[in-house]
Structure 1
Amino acid sequence: MPVTIPCLADVCLIPIGTGSASVSDEVTAITRLAQDSHLETTLHSAGTTIEGPWDQVMDLIGQMHQLLHDKHNIVRIQSDIRVGTRIDKKQSPQDKIDVVQRKLKDL
């Protein structure tokens, strides 16, 4: 049974053993893949936020791994993934930021 609850996932793929401190080529490749998906994605300085149904978000993360293994010859990838779910209302990543910024103004 597919898991379709809405989620926000923050993911950072870390290529290991590339011999370089730079990961911009790998980040560019997975960012293009994310942008080409039908899911909402936001690139930030330490990863990508993906918004959508759980099964589709996890599938995209798997595709990111597959792309780096297959097209960039990365033999090992470590991922940091944080996933949040909420079913009482729809809330985008920007909505969450806006709430905190409003509260900061009220201090």
Structure 2
Amino acid sequence: MAPVTIHCLADVCLIPIGTGSASVSDEVTKITKLAQDSHLATTLHSAGTTIDGPWNEVMDLIGQMHQILHDSGVVRIQSDIRVGTRTDKNQSPQDKIDVVQSKLKNLA
């Protein structure tokens, strides 16, 4: 079977378990650096990261995020991943926000 190359937007939130601290900013910093160093478009937000790109590359980056945290000593990670795909048009995360913002202005 051929690789899945359909374009997707994935919202990802990695949750390290058993780190000994309620703070996860060190872990978020590591995976954010990894994401920003990739060639994929990424957007950090308050509850995770949006990754924009081909399905296989996005899923590979998510796997790398897990690996970098495991390599740094995190023994368990739970991830929430929401993935959207469209075939009728290309749409960036900002495009989606802009559409809603425009509609909000029209409600006034």
When normalised by structure 1's length, the TM-score is: 0.98
Deviation at 1:87, TM superposition (A): 1.0
Aligned equivalents of 2:87, 2:57: Cα separation in 1? 17
Number of residue pairs the alignment of both structures matches: 106
SS of 1:81's partner is strand
Provide the alpha-carbon RMSD of the alignment.
Answer: 0.4
Query: Residue 6 in 1 paired to residue 36 in 2?
Result: no
Matched, 1:49 2:50: yes
* Equivalent position amino acid for 2:58 in 1: V
4+ long deviations beyond 4 Å: none
Task: Return the offset for 1:106.
Answer: 0.5
CA–CA distance in structure 2, aligned partners of residues 97 and 44 of structure 1 = 13
Report % sequence identity. Answer: 85
Aligned position for 1:89: 89
Consecutive unaligned residues in structure 1, runs of 5 or more: none
Partner of 1:23: 24
Q: Determine helix, strand or coil for the equivalent of 1:7.
A: strand
Question: Aligned partners of 1:105 and 1:18: how far apart in 2?
Answer: 44
